[in-house]
Amino acid sequence: METKLHTFLNSNLLNKYLVGEASYEEAKEVEYYIENFPEAAKAYERLQYNLEIIAKAGAVDVPKNVLSNILKELDEPNETKVIQLVQQKKTPWYSIAASAAAILFAVTSFLLFQKNQNLLDENNVVVEEIFDLRSDIDNNNAKLDELSRELNKLNDPDARKYVINGNDRAKDLKTVAYINPVEKTSMIDVITLPQLPEDQHYEIWAELQDKMVNLGILDESERKLKPIPYMEDALALSIKIGNKGDANNTTDTEVAEISLKDKE
């Protein structure tokens, strides 16, 4: 409700109501806020007071000789005269006050409009920043949840760790595989991979009893735990150099291998 009251006070309804330009629905809304909210009543009283000051400031003083002229004319018997109170026609004070009030109202309305626009722009910026912040928080929470799940998998007592080092063809190669035969999950962590020509990449393979199965491509840019297919009866894991676009790598390009039976 405080937000609605703040919006009402920043609107132009009190000014419109004061000068009689508010519609029936707007007048009902203004009267409701004045009756139910002290802040609205005080704001309305302040506007009335300011308008009264403006009206008084534009008032025209009555000439000092008017009263003496009237008394003098009344003392002269049997004569009917038209007493000229003011020699020159002057604009009535209420017209001046009304004009001043209209000018002040226009200026005030414009300033309030500008202020409201600035507040709306600032509110929109704040809302966008809040949404961006919430989005960042959600993304960070999602990353933390994912990291927590990965750590839980690594810390699982059933998980087995296999460090895969490169042979003479790729001495700087190093990856770590985590295999959980109970949960039937496999993950690999790329630590270092020697750079290859643009038309080649590293592939990880699983050796079964009678065949080799391609488990996917390894990329050093993906420096995080990466899930790979779990192979129930895999005897070993090997890393080969493959040509991009060729899924069936039958050449002898093996650069690393590790047996999965050593820890059973």
Model confidence pTM above 0.75:
no
- Render pLDDT for 128-148 as a digit per residue (tens, 0 to 9): 888 788 888 888 888 777 766
Closest by CA to 189, choosing from 145, 231, 150, 223, is 223
Helix-helix angle 38-57:2-10, to 10 degrees:
10
* 248, 185: one domain: yes
Residue 245, pLDDT above cutoff 70: yes
| DSSP 8-state code for residue 233 | T
Q: What phi and psi values does residue 218 have, to the nearest 5 degrees?
A: -105, 135
Domain holding 252, by residue range, is 160-259
| DSSP 8-state code for residue 83 | -
Q: Into how many domains does the chain fold?
A: 2
Among candidate residues 129, 145, 169, the one where a domain is terminated: 129
Q: How far, CA to CA in Å, does 179 sit from each of 7, 141, 145, 186, 262?
A: 60, 26, 21, 4, 13
Residue 23, pLDDT above cutoff 70: yes
184 and 158 Cβ atoms separated by less than 8 Å = no
* 124, 173: one domain: no
- Render pLDDT for 65-87 as a digit per residue (tens, 0 to 9): 655 666 666 566 555 544 444 44
In a domain, 61, yes or no: yes
* 101, 183: one domain: no
In a domain, 25, yes or no: yes
- Render pLDDT for 200-220 as a digit per residue (tens, 0 to 9): 899 999 999 888 899 988 887
| DSSP 8-state code for residue 230 | -
* 238, 165: one domain: yes
Which amino acid is located at 146 in the chain?
E
* 104, 25: one domain: yes
Distant-in-sequence, close-in-space partners of 93: CB < 8 Å, separation ≥ 6? 55, 58, 59, 60
216 and 203 Cβ atoms separated by less than 8 Å = yes
Average pLDDT of the residues in 27-52: 86
* 105, 165: one domain: no
Q: Model confidence at 102, in pLDDT bands (50, 70, 90)?
A: confident
* 104, 14: one domain: yes
Percent of the chain with pLDDT over 70: 75
* 177, 225: one domain: yes
* 96, 173: one domain: no
- Render pLDDT for 144-156 as a digit per residue (tens, 0 to 9): 777 666 666 666 7
3-state SS of 207-221 is: ECCCCEEEEEEECCC
In a domain, 144, yes or no: no
